[in-house]
């Protein structure tokens, strides 16, 4: 009898805890539903209707998007940009985090190392605090046909480059993404590195393991969960570079840096809602599949 009463009390307590938890997440859940989930559901619905959202047209918008030359160019450029930038960003930011970690672990006998580490970290975090308008102005000064970059090339007796009017525009975009996001990813890597116990490295050192072996058999396995988070956030952040690209090169930049965000913006300005909705639905589906595959790949190795 007492066991039955205890179970009943536990059920009521668990139910009460669940209601309390629901009450706490309700505001966030409501905001996400109103501003993200419901609009995206309406976008999917509109992809099967005409521009007015009245007449059902089936998959015509999807076929039109796939046959559109501008979409194929933008999708290829976006895939190339993601395939190059995300591995580069993860490797560079992890390397910076590994360089900074010894300075964070330094004791009171090494104040110079700690100060140098703080200055080094601040230099990588600074791009996160720079307003977009300032970045655009800086890039116009640097990559203008008569800007600082071409001035430096001319002084070295090299041919000047039309950075924004040639295929070099793509690499300007890559550099901007790496410059802006390295500091953010570095902080994530540092948090993951701090979760690895120093005793593991000490034991490996006693057993004769070198730095590369410690990194391969201790650091990388300890960072598996962090790798997933960093990869997903890097992927999502790669779609947030449109403001800089748009303000520097306009709505119709050089073909090498014409991304899906440019295409969506132009279709929105032309009120081509059906094709815009279909393309957004396809991009959302592709991103979801990539993220799920990444999570499954990493979960299998944890």
Burial of 102 (0-12, 13-18, 19+ CB in 10 A): exposed
Query: Which residues of the chain register pLDDT less than 50?
Result: 4, 103, 106-109
Which residues are within 8 A (CB) of 16 and not within 5 positions of it... i.e. 6 or more apart? none
CA quadruple 43, 47, 51, 53: dihedral positive or negative? negative
CATH number of the structural domain spanning residue 161: 1.10.3720.10
42 shares a domain with 64: no
101 shares a domain with 235: yes
Question: In this structure, is residue 70 part of a structural domain?
Answer: yes
What pLDDT does 14 receive?
A: 60
Question: In this structure, is residue 252 part of a structural domain?
Answer: yes
164 shares a domain with 18: no
25 shares a domain with 122: no
- The answer to whether 128 touches 240, Cβ cutoff 8 Å, is no
Question: In this structure, is residue 53 part of a structural domain?
Answer: no
Question: In this structure, is residue 51 part of a structural domain?
Answer: no
What pLDDT does 106 receive?
A: 44
66 shares a domain with 183: yes
174 shares a domain with 81: yes
Cβ of 114: how many Cβ atoms within 10 Å?
15
| Whole-number CA gyration radius for the chain | 25
Q: How far apart are the first and last CA of the chain?
A: 44
218 shares a domain with 87: yes
CA quadruple 196, 198, 204, 208: dihedral positive or negative? positive
147 shares a domain with 42: no
Domains in the chain: how many in total? 2
What pLDDT does 102 receive?
A: 65
How many Å apart are CA 230 and CA 97, to the nearest integer? Answer: 13
Rounding to the nearest 10 degrees, give the CA dihedral for residues 261, 264, 270, 275: 160
17 shares a domain with 153: no
Question: In this structure, is residue 256 part of a structural domain?
Answer: yes
132 shares a domain with 212: yes
127 shares a domain with 102: yes
What pLDDT does 114 receive?
A: 58
Which residues are within 8 A (CB) of 117 and not within 5 positions of it... i.e. 6 or more apart? 100, 103, 104, 106
Burial of 84 (0-12, 13-18, 19+ CB in 10 A): middle
- The answer to whether 264 touches 279, Cβ cutoff 8 Å, is yes
Question: In this structure, is residue 201 part of a structural domain?
Answer: yes
251-266 pLDDT tens trace = 788 888 888 888 888 8
102-158 pLDDT tens trace = 645 544 445 555 566 666 667 777 777 777 777 878 888 888 888 888 888 888 888
162 shares a domain with 15: no
Question: In this structure, is residue 240 part of a structural domain?
Answer: yes
Range of the domain at 37: 1-46
């Amino acid at each position: 009898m007492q066991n039955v009463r205890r179970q009943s009390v536990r059920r009521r307590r668990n139910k009460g805890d669940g209601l309390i938890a629901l009450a706490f997440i309700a505001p966030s859940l409501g905001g996400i539903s109103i501003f993200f989930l419901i609009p995206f559901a309406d976008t999917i619905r509109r992809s099967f209707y005409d521009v007015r959202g009245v007449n059902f047209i089936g998959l015509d918008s999807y076929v039109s998007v796939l046959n559109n030359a501008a979409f194929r160019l933008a999708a290829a450029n976006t895939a190339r940009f993601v395939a190059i930038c995300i591995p580069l960003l993860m490797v560079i930011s992890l390397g910076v985090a590994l360089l900074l970690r010894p300075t964070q672990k330094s004791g009171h006998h090494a104040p110079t190392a700690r100060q140098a580490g703080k200055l080094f970290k601040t230099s990588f975090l600074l791009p996160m605090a720079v307003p977009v308008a300032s970045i655009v102005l800086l890039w116009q000064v640097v990559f203008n046909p008569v800007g600082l970059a071409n001035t430096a090339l001319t002084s070295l007796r090299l041919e000047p480059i039309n950075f924004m009017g040639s295929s070099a525009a793509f690499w300007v975009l890559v550099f901007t993404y790496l410059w802006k996001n390295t500091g953010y990813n570095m902080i994530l890597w540092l948090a993951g590195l701090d979760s690895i116990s120093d005793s593991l490295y000490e034991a490996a050192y006693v057993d004769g393991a070198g730095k590369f072996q410690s990194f391969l058999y201790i650091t990388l396995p300890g960072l598996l969960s962090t790798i997933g988070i960093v990869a997903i956030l890097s992927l999502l952040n790669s779609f947030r570079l449109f403001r800089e690209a748009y303000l520097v090169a306009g709505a119709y930049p050089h073909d090498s840096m014409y991304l899906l965000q440019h295409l969506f913006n132009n279709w929105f300005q032309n009120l081509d809602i059906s094709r815009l909705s279909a393309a957004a639905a396809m991009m959302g589906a592709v991103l979801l599949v990539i993220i799920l595959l990444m999570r499954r790949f990493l979960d299998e190795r944890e």
